[in-house]
Amino acid sequence: QVQLVESGGGLVQAGGSLRLSCAASGRTFSNYAMAWFRQAPGKEREFVSAINWLAMTDYADSVKGRFAISRDNAKNTVYQQMNSLKPEETAVYYCAADASFKISRHPSDYAYWGRGTQVTVSS
């Protein structure tokens, strides 16, 4: 069983930055694929970024060049640095994990989820 706890959300002005953290329990964190998704009110959950055990990454086209996902296996933590935030990126951001070597953009491929952290970008 893996438990995920997100933190770092908040209110930021358009163009600002935030860094999200996701602390994971479990002894084999380093083997897990990790990802960030987001969900705005009335919209489906959408892929944002992912990282595998080799630190290979994937990003949604809309965040490439502005967001960066990273992991610290010693701290069992994955991060997402978000720069140049836009009002339309206001959403609850979720951390997800799966005991897989592959990274995926599909929510159904992740077995474990955190409760999410709210990110609000004001215009």
| pLDDT 10s digits, 58-68 | 999 999 999 99
Angle made by CA atoms 29, 81, 50, in degrees to the nearest 5: 45
81, 110, 77, 115: which is closest to 96 by C-alpha? 110
**Half-sphere exposure (Cβ direction) of 71: Cα atoms closer than 13 Å:** 24
Q: Is residue 49 over pLDDT 80? A: yes
The share of the chain scoring above pLDDT 90, in percent, equals 88
Q: How confident is the model at residue 29 (pLDDT cuts 50, 70, 90)?
A: confident
3-state secondary structure of 100: coil
Average pLDDT over residues 48-53: 96
**Amino acid at position 50, single letter:** A
The residue whose two tokens read 């836009």 is 86
Q: How confident is the model at residue 23 (pLDDT cuts 50, 70, 90)?
A: very high
